[in-house]
Amino acid sequence: MRLPQRMPWAHISELEQICAWIFADRDDLEAIKLAVNRLSAWKATTALPHALESTLAILVVQLQDRPSQPSFPALNLRLAYASAITRMVNGLVDPLQVGAFARSIASIAAQLGLPPWLVELRHAATHEDLPSLELLREAARESLSWLLHNYFQPTLNPSAPPPRSVALRSVAPLLKSYKQLMKTVTRDASLRKRHQSDIDAVIREIERWIAEAMVSADLANNVIAWGFDEHSESYRGDTKERVALEPLCDALFDIGALVPLAKKKRHAPMDPFLPTTSSKAIWGVLLNNLRLHHPVFPSVFISRAVHSLLGNSLQLDPGTTALEMETEDSPRDVTYNEYLARWVVWAIQTWDDISEGENQLRKELLLALSPTQLPGKFASPEKTVM
DSSP 169: P
Quick one: which of 212, 221, 227 has its CA closest to 91? 227
How large is the average pLDDT for residues 75-92? 90
Q: Is the pLDDT of residue 110 over 90?
A: no
Q: Is the pLDDT of residue 18 over 50?
A: yes
The amino acid at residue 198 is: D
Contact at 8 Å (CB) between 23 and 148?
yes
Q: Verify cis geometry, omega within 30 degrees of 0, for the bond prior to 272.
A: yes
Q: Is the pLDDT of residue 143 over 50?
A: yes
Q: How far is CA 239 from CA 2, 184, 215, 223, 260, in A?
A: 12, 36, 12, 13, 31
Q: How far is CA 55 from CA 126, 152, 341, in A?
A: 20, 10, 54
**pLDDT number for residue 243:** 85
How large is the average pLDDT for residues 57-72? 82
How large is the average pLDDT for residues 229-242? 57
What pLDDT band is residue 200 in, cutting at 50, 70 and 90? very high
What pLDDT band is residue 96 in, cutting at 50, 70 and 90? confident
More confident call, 282 vs 241: 282
**pLDDT number for residue 281:** 93
Pairing of strands 354-355, 358-359: antiparallel
Q: Is the pLDDT of residue 274 over 50?
A: yes
Please tell me the distance from the alpha carbon of residue 230 to that of residue 237, in angstroms, as a whole number. Answer: 12
**pLDDT number for residue 257:** 92
C-alpha angle 42-80-131 in degrees, rounded to nearest 5 = 140
Per residue in 308-353, pLDDT tens? Answer: 888 755 444 444 443 344 444 455 678 888 999 999 989 988 886 6
Q: Which H helix or E strand runs over 116?
A: helix 116-127
User: Poorest-confidence range of 79-83, 103-107, 163-167, 251-255?
Assistant: 163-167
**pLDDT number for residue 271:** 82
**Is the model's pTM score more than 0.75?**
no
**pLDDT number for residue 73:** 82
